[in-house]
Every structure is written in structure tokens, then in C-alpha cells.
Amino acid sequence: MSRCGTSLSHCCWIAGEQCPYVEASARPDFYYDCALRKREPDWDAVHASPEYREIVKPKLEAAGVTVDCGDWPPPGHKCNDCGEIGQ
């Protein structure tokens, strides 16, 4: 997800709703950031956080999304927003 947040849009949508943790970025050349990822040292810590486990993960599961944030895009899939291709 090295390019995530660099386009004018973002891929942080869950069942048609923007993730509550998407926020404007203060980094040069970035438009969006994940508030949880800014706070935590890595994506594993994000996935272990109470906010992710109690708010984000249940929404992803209900929407049928099988990858966690930070693992997007899945291997071979191209993100429509930033153009990154999953490894």
C-alpha cells in the first residue's frame, strides 16, 4: 500500500460507506491517511487495535471483504484509486 492515499480518491470504502478512520493527510503528495495506521507502528498493530476489531473488521466481514486493511489490494488486483497492484 505504498501509494495508498496519493490519488484524489481513496479505496477505503466498506459497503458503500467511507471508513470512519480515513482522514486528510498532512504528508506531501498524499491526500488521505488512515488514522489508525498513523497511530500504530504497523498494520498488524492496527488489526489488533480495539477500533479495528470492533468497528472496521465487522463491517468488512459483513460486506464480504476477505482482506484486511493494509493487505489491499490482494495479489494481482489493481486498485482503481491509486493504481497499485497487489503482490
**What residues make up the domain containing 50?**
1-87
DSSP β-bridge partners for residue 32: 24
pTM beyond cutoff 0.85: no
Q: Is the pLDDT of residue 1 over 70?
A: no
Q: How many domains does the chain have?
A: 1
What is the 3-state secondary structure of the chain? Answer: CCCCCCCCCCCCEECCEECCCEEECCCCCCCEEEHHHHHCCCHHHHHHCHHHHHHHHHHHHHCCCCCCCCCCCCECCECCCCCCEEC
Dump pLDDT digits (tens) for 13-70: 788 888 999 888 888 887 888 899 999 999 999 999 999 999 999 998 998 888 888 8
CA distance 82 to 49: 26
